Amino acid sequence: MAVREILSVEHPMLRRKCTKIHHLDAGLQRLVDDLIETMHHANGVGLAAPQVGVPVRLFVVQTPDDVDEPHAGELFVLYNPEIIKKSDLYYPEEGCLSMPGWVANVPRYRHVVIKGRNRQGREVRIKGEGLLAQALQHENDHLDGILFFDHLESMDQLRRVEKAAEPVEV
Ligand code: NI
């Protein structure tokens, strides 16, 4: 396993539409290990493959243990995800590991159901709420080259935050 470099928002890789995965080979399993290690190293809640320079439809998500929500602390690896249900729009605060030190309140759904394949290639459905739902939407966006601030009416809505008080970065 290795910590990989997280690309920053200016990198064109983050604007690519990522390709679907058809074979879960050893290289992909290594990529999953590296995504997990890199996410933990950066203290993030999620990380998508294009953020480390690989334009495929894969991300990992793990909310903190102490969040009072279903699946808190559970690690999810998802290939070829697709959001199949969403409800209850709100505007939580959000940041991105590719744009450290900046946050904004972006429109997200409080409840989502997402389907995809897990690390073993089995089809799974994840019912997420709150922070988990938010992270699933944020990471899923990365696979289509969409960044969180694309949901804002103006870049003036971005706020600077202190490194020490960093909130949700996904
Ligand atoms: Ni992000």
Q: Where are the domains of the chain?
A: 12-160
Single-letter amino acid code for the residue at 74: E
Per-residue pLDDT of the chain (170 residues; tens, 9 = 90+): 899 999 999 999 999 999 999 999 999 999 999 999 999 999 999 999 999 999 999 999 999 999 999 999 999 999 999 999 999 999 999 999 999 999 999 999 999 999 999 999 999 999 999 999 999 999 999 999 999 999 999 999 999 998 655 456 66
Q: In the CATH scheme, what is the code of domain 12-160? A: 3.90.45.10
Task: Return d(Cα 64, Cα 120) in angstroms, integer.
Answer: 23
Dist. CA 30 → ligand 1 center (Å) = 21
Give first-to-last CA distance, the chain, whole Å.
20
77: burial class by Cβ within 10 Å (0-12, 13-18, 19+)? Answer: buried
pTM: 0.95
Q: Which of 82, 129, 139, 169 is catalytic?
A: 139
Q: Is 139 a catalytic residue?
A: yes
Please name the residue ranges forming H helices in the chain: 26-41, 130-142
CA–centroid distance, residue 99 to ligand 1 (Å): 8
